[in-house]
Chain A
Amino acid sequence: DSGVTQTPKHLITATGQRVTLRCSPRSGDLSVYWYQQSLDQGLQFLIQYYNGEERAKGNILERFSAQQFPDLHSELNLSSLELGDSALYFCASSDDRENEQFFGPGTRLTVL
């Protein structure tokens, strides 16, 4: 158990819909990272937040957005969903040193 929790574990929805994925980091970790994992692209960095502020952005689509709240939990919002958005979405957290990221168990999103 990494100490990072993600909900829900599975999500099935339809094209065009909007979903919110939630992540609670390890106690004391200020950084939260979001990744997308698919068979063809592998694990891709989406975005990082540090203590409530966006710190780094990867290949995140404009239809996707994230935020980190004062209690340090984070949400990833995916809108206008397409079939190709079906993937595993992982959240990770790290402390100030940011040498090691601890990954949550992921949310499996299926868009039908």
Chain B
Amino acid sequence: TQLLEQSPQFLSIQEGENLTVYCNSSSVFSSLQWYRQEPGEGPVLLVTVVTGGEVKKLKRLTFQFGDARKDSSLHITAAQPGDTGLYLCAGFPVGGSNYKLTFGKGTLLTVNP
């Protein structure tokens, strides 16, 4: 059973469209992180959200942490081909180890020109 469920698994859109991807769990997390991974490379951290209800913006990317700290979303405005990649959420569940980062399986986003 996957502790962090990400949806959708695959998403293919046209340049300029908006999109939202989700990261859900039945467990509470002390914080959640979002990574982007491009082919042939390792994941790169985009943002960390810590407080329930927190919203963080990174240019065209908006990240939200659920009030109960069990879920998070990533919204991309006016997607560009450079946004193509695997988006992974990850976190430390409350009550678990502070050192074992748990990842979701990711959303593979393709932005077509």
Contact = CB atoms under 8 A, between A and B. Distances in A.
Nearest to A45: B100
A42 B100 contact: no
Contacts of B102: 45
B43 interface: yes
B43 A43 contact: yes
A76 interface: no
B99 A48 contact: yes
Nearest to B98: A98
Contact of B100 (A2, A41, A43, A56): A56
B105 interface: yes
B44 A42 contact: no
A48 B2 CA distance: 21
Interface string B84-102: 0000101000000111111
A103 B44 contact: yes
B45 interface: yes
B113 interface: no
Q: Interface size bucket, A side?
A: 20 to 34
B44 A56 contact: no
A101 to B, nearest CB: 7
Contacts of A56: 97, 99-100
B62 interface: no
A102 B47 CA distance: 13
Contacts of B98: 98
A43 B88 contact: yes
Contacts of B43: 43, 90, 103
A102 B101 CA distance: 13
Interface string A1-37: 0101000000000000000000000000000010000
Max chain B Cβ within 10 angstroms of own Cβ: one of A42, A101, A102: A42
B42 A106 contact: yes
